[in-house]
């Protein structure tokens, strides 16, 4: 939790102080952009190459509303997948092979059996819908550093974010948390609109405009999703990273950022651009207030999937690889859609 220390400044110092705050926010974005340029033009990593034989085949119950953009644990991965010793030991037996049981499937760690019947997934929308045969291989030349930073982020999550998210979930009613999530989603309309326009996707652009007008007017600033529930106008999940991907710009190497988590060189550029269009950048009265808004958004998002994150930790053989592979496939699926 962030503490904001308020001190009344003399009148002649107010303008100077506000300029310093704006410079700090601008410098933060420039730093992200600089890191991205380093990764994009570095000769230490090879370009992304397509390969069918090395593409893992994953199945995950992830909804479009779940964003796998940060280590805020917003990746709903391997949900309800049973990884008991019995399943693992029997995966190679003929009776339990994928060909003999439609509920079993292949993952990067081998054949496992789903704890749910395959019929239960028929009504779910595939978050990775699209042609995945050309899924490029995500290069990870900084794996040693990435694994170390992944461990640091996980330690922060286990000791800070998870306890706070669980307490927040138990204290704040679910309906209010959903309203807060809707509010943040509605506030990101400029990012969604610009990304859709850059991709010349006017259908999505129209949906963004319609949802923003309806939810802002009749949904108490976006707390209630009137456009989705009453008019069946689906939300749009777009950002500048997806716009870059639609023009064929490769992802670049995989990078674990401090606090922010899974990312790529292209995603760093996208995040820097998105930050300039975020409401917190324009309307937050100070850097501390902007940080407080970001903390609230991340804690609120984590409160919905804290149990799923725990299940992933317990089920994955190599959690780092699981997060990396699912992150890559999820982001690729968003670009293809």
Kindly state the average pLDDT of the residues 21-29.
Answer: 53
DSSP designation for 1 = -
Whole-angstrom Cα distance, residue 249 to residue 107? 28
Q: Among candidates 32, 25, 31, 68, which has minimal Cα distance to 278?
A: 25
H/E run at residue 264 = strand 261-264
**263 phi, psi to nearest 5 deg:** -165, 175
What's the mean pLDDT in 98-120?
44
Q: What percent of the chain clears pLDDT 70, i.e. is strictly above it?
A: 61
* Range name among 126-130, 168-172, 204-208 with the lowest pLDDT average: 126-130
What predicted TM-score, i.e. pTM, was given to this entire model?
Answer: 0.61
**pLDDT (average), residues 146-165:** 95
Q: Which residues contact 52 (CB under 8 A, 6 or more apart)?
A: 133
Q: How far apart are CA 74 and CA 127, in angstroms?
A: 14
Residue 134 has pLDDT above 60, yes or no: yes
d(CA 106, CA 57): 6
**134 in Cβ contact with 46 (< 8 Å):** no
Q: What are phi and psi of 196, to 5 degrees?
A: -65, -40
Q: What is the pLDDT of residue 253?
A: 97
pLDDT at 55: 40
Domain range summary for the chain, segments of one domain joined by +: 12-80+138-336
81 confidence band (pLDDT: 50, 70, 90): very low
Residues 213-272: tens digit of each pLDDT = 999 999 999 999 999 999 999 999 999 999 999 999 999 999 999 989 999 999 999 999
């Amino acid at each position: 939790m962030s503490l904001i220390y308020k001190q009344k400044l003399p009148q002649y110092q107010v303008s100077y102080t506000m300029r310093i705050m704006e410079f700090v926010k601008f410098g933060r974005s420039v730093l992200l952009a600089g890191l991205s340029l380093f990764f994009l033009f570095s000769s230490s990593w090879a370009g992304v190459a397509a390969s069918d034989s090395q593409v893992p085949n994953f199945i995950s119950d992830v909804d479009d509303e779940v964003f796998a953009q940060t280590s805020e644990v917003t990746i709903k991965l391997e949900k309800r997948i049973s990884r008991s010793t019995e399943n693992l030991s029997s995966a190679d037996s003929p009776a339990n092979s994928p060909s003999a049981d439609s509920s079993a499937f292949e993952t990067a760690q081998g054949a496992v059996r789903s704890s749910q019947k395959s019929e239960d997934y028929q009504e779910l929308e595939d978050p990775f819908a699209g042609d995945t045969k050309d899924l490029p291989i995500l290069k990870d030349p900084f794996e040693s550093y990435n694994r170390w930073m992944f461990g640091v982020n996980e330690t922060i999550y286990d000791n800070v974010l998870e306890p706070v998210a669980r307490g927040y979930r138990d204290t704040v009613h679910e309906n209010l948390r959903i309203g807060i999530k809707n509010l943040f989603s509605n506030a990101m309309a400029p990012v969604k609109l610009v990304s859709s326009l850059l991709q010349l996707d006017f259908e999505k652009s129209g949906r963004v405009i319609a949802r923003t007008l309806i939810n802002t007017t009749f949904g108490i600033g976006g707390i209630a999703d009137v456009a989705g529930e009453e008019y069946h106008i689906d939300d749009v999940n777009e950002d500048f990273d997806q716009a870059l991907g639609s023009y064929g710009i490769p992802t670049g190497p995989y990078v674990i950022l401090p606090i922010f988590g899974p990312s790529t060189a292209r995603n760093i550029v996208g995040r820097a651009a998105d930050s300039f269009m975020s409401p917190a950048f324009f309307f937050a009265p100070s850097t501390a207030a902007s940080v407080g808004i970001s903390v609230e958004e991340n804690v609120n998002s984590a409160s919905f999937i804290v149990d799923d994150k725990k299940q992933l930790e317990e089920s994955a053989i190599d959690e780092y690889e699981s997060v990396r592979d699912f992150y890559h496939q999820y982001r690729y699926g968003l670009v293809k859609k």
